[in-house]
Amino acid sequence: MATTQTLPQVDQSHKTVLEPIATPSRLLFGPGPSNADPKVLQALARSPIGHLDPLYLELMGEVQELLRYTWQTDNRFTLPMSGTGSAAMEATLANTVEPGDTVLVAVNGYFGNRLADMAARYRANVQLIEKPWGEAFSLAELEAALSEHRPAILALVHAETSTGVCQPMDGVGDLCHKHDCLLLLDTVTSLGAVPVFLDQWKVDLSYSCSQKGLSCPPGLGPFTMGPRAEEKLVARSSKVPNWYLDVSLLNQYWGSDRVYHHTAPVNMNFGMREALRLLADEGLENAWDRHRCNAEVLWAGLESLGLELHVPEALRLPTLTTVCIPNGVDGNAFRLHLLNEHGIEIGGGLGSLAGKIWRIGLMGYNSTPKNVELLLNLFESELPRFRENVAVAA
Ligand SMILES: *Cc1c(COP(=O)(O)O)cnc(C)c1O
């Protein structure tokens, strides 16, 4: 054809000849992603349908209703954000923070700092209460900080994936009502795996992700907003300063109007529907019990191997166990050995815990007695070689 002759020559320098993708089979016992349920992977592989197809619109309603069940909330603004957990995290702040609002962030790990960073980008007056990584906040500490700072929002991390601490929630919601502030709770590593009673706890804003307790690959960030947070959104004097995450726009698609906002990642939502369907089929209480029972066997087994756990039992997260790396052991070398020789991923430490702990995740589909046994057997047989600092043949 005549036109092709007028095109410049195609630059071939970045063209790479590849084989079709082949991924190794790994067991993901790190801080996430965890392995997806094979049934979820089948759902993801279905042919996409239109994001305004009546069948898809019905599926959206099913996902929303199952998210409400999973969070134990009646919030009408409950939907999966397109993006990972951090997108939903950012949405909670983007929709409610107005410049100058005081946001009090309780920081006892990596994700508290991320919340503080995000809130500051929406021009909040960010105040922090801090605790060492591995501890939780008491009601008295939260109350003192609420009295001192009089925030519009208190942000807390329920399940700190960087430390393995589960923040006790009894009484926190009442404190926030008493001090007339919204309660924002990160439930990324608890949703579907650790008891969460969003409405009973009087939580106004929460978010999670698809790839930890929900047995789905990364890609969606469940988001929910209660009536008090909705009021703050409606009363804004300026537009939500983030178009993509603006819940008032998103609700025109997820609510009854069904107006196009952005093309929904339909296959991710197929996967989410299947993941939530499987969870409801098991029953939330049973899933919580399963995570707790398997974690308790893991804890006892690690301790019987002489390993020390970083968090006292009363505060331990069933989904993520932090293990102190014994003196003289190269934690990174052990982790790489498990990955390269056994196809098993565990996590290292973040921030102030880097080089000091391993992080073992047993989340969603991966929380099984068989996986606990596998992990304990590996720690028993492989760790001694690292304790003695013997070089491991590759
Ligand atoms: C993983 C995680 C996030 C961030 O989620 P992404 O899916 O990585 O964006 C936020 N908070 C906590 C507690 C997490 O564990």
Whether residues 207 and 303 fall in one domain: no
Sheet holding 205-207, edge to edge: 77-82, 220-225, 205-207, 182-186, 153-157, 102-107, 125-130
Domain final residue, candidates 281, 314, 333: 281
Sheet holding 357-361, edge to edge: 27-29, 344-348, 357-361, 320-324
Does residue 246 lie within any of the structural domains? yes
Per-residue pLDDT, 2:
56
Amino acid occupying residue 291: H
For residue 298, report the distance from its CA to the centre of ligand 1, in Å. Answer: 23
**Residue 36 exposed, middle or buried by CB count within 10 Å (0-12, 13-18, 19+):** buried
The angle at the Cα of 357, spanning 353 to 362, to the nearest 5 degrees, equals 115
Domain final residue, candidates 242, 264, 281: 281
CATH number at residue 263: 3.40.640.10
Whether residues 268 and 363 fall in one domain: no
Does residue 14 lie within any of the structural domains? no
Phi and psi of 79, rounded to 5°? -160, 155
Domain total of the chain: 2
Q: Is the dihedral of CA 332, 356, 298, 159 positive or negative?
A: negative
- Give the residue carrying structure tokens 């050995």: 337
For residue 315, report the distance from its CA to the centre of ligand 1, in Å. Answer: 19
For residue 30, report the distance from its CA to the centre of ligand 1, in Å. Answer: 13
Whether residues 53 and 199 fall in one domain: yes
Closest ligand 1 atom to 87 CA: 9
CA-nearest residue for atom 7, ligand 1, is 85
Does residue 4 lie within any of the structural domains? no
Whether residues 137 and 243 fall in one domain: yes
DSSP β-bridge partners for residue 347: 359
Closest ligand 1 atom to 221 CA: 7
Domain final residue, candidates 252, 281, 310: 281
Whether residues 377 and 231 fall in one domain: no
**H/E segment holding residue 324:** strand 320-324
Whether residues 203 and 336 fall in one domain: no
Q: Are 187 and 57 in contact (CB under 8 A)?
A: no
Whether residues 43 and 64 fall in one domain: yes
For residue 160, report the distance from its CA to the centre of ligand 1, in Å. Answer: 9
| Residue 359, marked binder | yes
Does residue 268 lie within any of the structural domains? yes
CA distance 82 to 301: 39
Mutational pocket test of ligand 1: of 189, 206, 212, the residue with most ligand atoms within 8 Å of the beta carbon: 189
Q: Are 350 and 13 in contact (CB under 8 A)?
A: no
Whether residues 306 and 185 fall in one domain: no
Whether residues 268 and 352 fall in one domain: no
For the chain, 394 residues long, give each residue's pLDDT as a single digit of tens: 555 679 999 999 999 999 999 999 999 999 999 999 999 999 999 999 999 999 999 999 999 999 999 999 999 999 999 999 999 999 999 999 999 999 999 999 999 999 999 999 999 999 999 999 999 999 999 999 999 999 999 999 999 999 999 999 999 999 999 999 999 999 999 999 999 999 999 999 999 999 999 999 999 999 999 999 999 999 999 999 999 999 999 999 999 899 999 999 999 999 999 999 999 999 999 999 999 999 999 999 999 999 999 999 999 999 999 999 999 999 999 999 999 999 999 999 999 999 999 999 999 999 999 999 999 999 999 999 998 655 554 4
For residue 170, report the distance from its CA to the centre of ligand 1, in Å. Answer: 23
CATH number at residue 347: 3.90.1150.10
Does residue 3 lie within any of the structural domains? no
Residue 373 domain boundaries: 27-31+284-393
Q: Are 79 and 250 in contact (CB under 8 A)?
A: yes
CA distance 221 to 83: 6
Does residue 331 lie within any of the structural domains? yes
Task: Look at residue 80 and give its three-state secondary structure.
Answer: strand
Closest ligand 1 atom to 157 CA: 13
Whether residues 105 and 145 fall in one domain: yes
Q: Report residues whose beta carbon is within 6 angstroms of any ligand 1 atom.
A: 32, 84-86, 89, 111, 157, 159, 161, 186, 188-189, 209, 218
Q: pTM for this structure?
A: 0.96
Mutational pocket test of ligand 1: of 92, 93, 111, 220, the residue with most ligand atoms within 8 Å of the beta carbon: 111
CA distance 248 to 238: 13
Per-residue pLDDT, 387:
83
Per-residue pLDDT, 388:
65
118: nearest Cα among 213, 29, 205, 226? 205
Does residue 250 lie within any of the structural domains? yes
Does residue 44 lie within any of the structural domains? yes
Whether residues 267 and 172 fall in one domain: yes
For residue 86, report the distance from its CA to the centre of ligand 1, in Å. Answer: 6
Amino acid occupying residue 190: S
Whether residues 288 and 252 fall in one domain: no
